[in-house]
Amino acid sequence: MVTRLQKPPKKNPQVRTRVPTLPSHYRSRSALFMAAAAAEGRFMLQVCAEPDCGSVQYPARDACSCCLSDRLVWQDVSARGKLIATSTVRTSTNTYFRERTPWRLGTVHLEIGPSVMCHLHSEVVVGSEVQLINRLDKSGQSVLLALPMEKAQLQEDDMQLRELTCDPKFRRILITDARNPNAYALAKSLLEAGASAVFVGEAESWRPYPDRAKLESLQGVELVSLDVTDTSSVQELAGEFGGKVDILINNARFVRPGGIQGRGDVGFAMDEMQVNYFGMMRLAQAFAPAMAGRSADGVNSAVAWVNVLSVYSLVSNPGFGSFSASNAAAHSLSQCLRAEMASSGVRVVNVYCGPTEDEWHQPLPPPKVPAGALARELVKALQAGLEDMYVGDIAKDIRRKFMESPKVLEKEMTSLEAL
């Protein structure tokens, strides 16, 4: 039975905040392919590509344990199996687990062959069929967890599962840009997902914008003053709210069409960098340390930093060439932030979005990403515990091509017909 998650009481300021500890992060390089799959929530194992073999490998290997071939290919495979043994760890040599015992684990015999050790959801019992998921744990590395075949009541409240996800339930969230046309949809989706408070940053509050009244009407939303291009504004807000931001959603964005020669100067380019790149850096300098210090703070611990990026951070879209460049810079910075947050267990989630349904993309043909779809997918990424999420058909298309060959994708994007 899942124990229902209780809304945490107001924090007692006299109680020491626990220092975050982590499970072991040591992995072989081959095992990092499982972490890469876990970043997108995929269950992938190595399969031997020799035509007369095809055996499935686990743990990650460098040669086939059946025929010694080195042609091991990572493939999406069935995650179904039978739970054949269980144990509950009562005492552990690792501080992270020591603080979280009793901790359940089990052996699952996969229908595709191997047996795996895995974490257990509280609803699975020995002898039953289970579904494994591959996720990143607090150390940022891949782990497997067995879920019941049918979704359980309050499934997401399970303690061991919640350690792997960034569920907004009972968490307090900062959305950085109220003026972004996606702000209302984001706030609404997060509240529906159980967020206990949503703070929405608003720059130049004297200047009107269409969704302000709608945003204000949402129960649980609080508009706060925040201009990501202004260091003191960011620091001021962090001083007041930094200790109660459990999830930060960096959705501030400056976007204009154009690349290099179509623009007469670097004015828009500087705005793009100010918001999209320096904005992220200012936010991270002000908010990340406090979040990193609160990542083991109970039910509403700090858990995720979300960047809403353009998928053109991976490859230039010359029609929005300068905007793409600012996003490439932001994307690179997000990887730096991941490294800096690794010791805290706070996950840096990147949401790669295709062209959005808004004024600045008005002349573009469909498909475009409506705000509601972006919000839905972003919340899904948090609830499922993903690190990378691609939103919209174009983003998914670019992702596939990027994974296949970044250079071929570049050729395609920069050909004569591209502009």
User: Which spans of this chain sit near other proteins (rule: CB under 8 A)?
Assistant: 23-24, 26-28, 30-31, 58-60, 65, 84-94, 96-97, 101, 103-107, 109, 115-119, 126, 137, 139, 141, 143
Alpha helices, DSSP H, located in 104-226:
159-162, 183-192, 212-217
Q: Which two tokens stand for residue 33?
A: 């392919």
Q: Which residue lies nearer to other proteins by CB, 101 or 335?
A: 101
Q: How far is the CB of 132 from other proteins (least distance, A)?
A: 12
Separation of alpha carbons 288 and 286, rounded Å: 6
Q: Which residue lies nearer to other proteins by CB, 126 or 339?
A: 126
Q: How far is the CB of 41 from other proteins (least distance, A)?
A: 18
**What count of Cα atoms within 13 Å lies in the side-chain half-sphere of residue 222?**
13
Q: How far is the CB of 20 from other proteins (least distance, A)?
A: 16
**β-pairing verdict for 129-136 and 115-120:** unpaired
Q: How far is the CB of 4 from other proteins (least distance, A)?
A: 24
Q: How far is the CB of 137 from other proteins (least distance, A)?
A: 6
- Cis peptide, bond prior to residue 9, ω within 30 of zero: no
Q: Which residue lies nearer to other proteins by CB, 142 or 276?
A: 142
Residue 293 three-state SS: helix
Q: How far is the CB of 407 from other proteins (least distance, A)?
A: 31
Q: Which residue lies nearer to other proteins by CB, 147 or 378?
A: 147
Q: Which residue lies nearer to other proteins by CB, 96 or 199?
A: 96
Separation of alpha carbons 374 and 368, rounded Å: 10
Separation of alpha carbons 353 and 396, rounded Å: 9
Q: Which residue lies nearer to other proteins by CB, 1 or 416?
A: 1
Q: Which residue lies nearer to other proteins by CB, 35 or 237?
A: 35
Q: Which residue lies nearer to other proteins by CB, 31 or 333?
A: 31
CB crowding 370-386: b at 16 or more within 10 Å, else e: bbebbbbbbbebbbbbb
Residue 351 three-state SS: strand
Q: How far is the CB of 126 from other proteins (least distance, A)?
A: 7
Q: How far is the CB of 110 from other proteins (least distance, A)?
A: 9
Q: Are 311 and 352 in contact (CB under 8 A)?
A: yes
Q: Which residue lies nearer to other proteins by CB, 38 or 309?
A: 38
Using the 8-state DSSP alphabet, how is residue 102 labeled?
S
| Helices 231-241, 279-293: crossing angle, 10 deg rounding | 20
Residue 34 three-state SS: helix
Residue among 235, 219, 330 nearest 282 (CA) = 235
Residue among 176, 182, 195, 307 nearest 238 (CA) = 176
Residue among 246, 187, 240 nearest 212 (CA) = 187
Q: How far is the CB of 99 from other proteins (least distance, A)?
A: 11
Q: Which two tokens stand for residue 91?
A: 């005492």
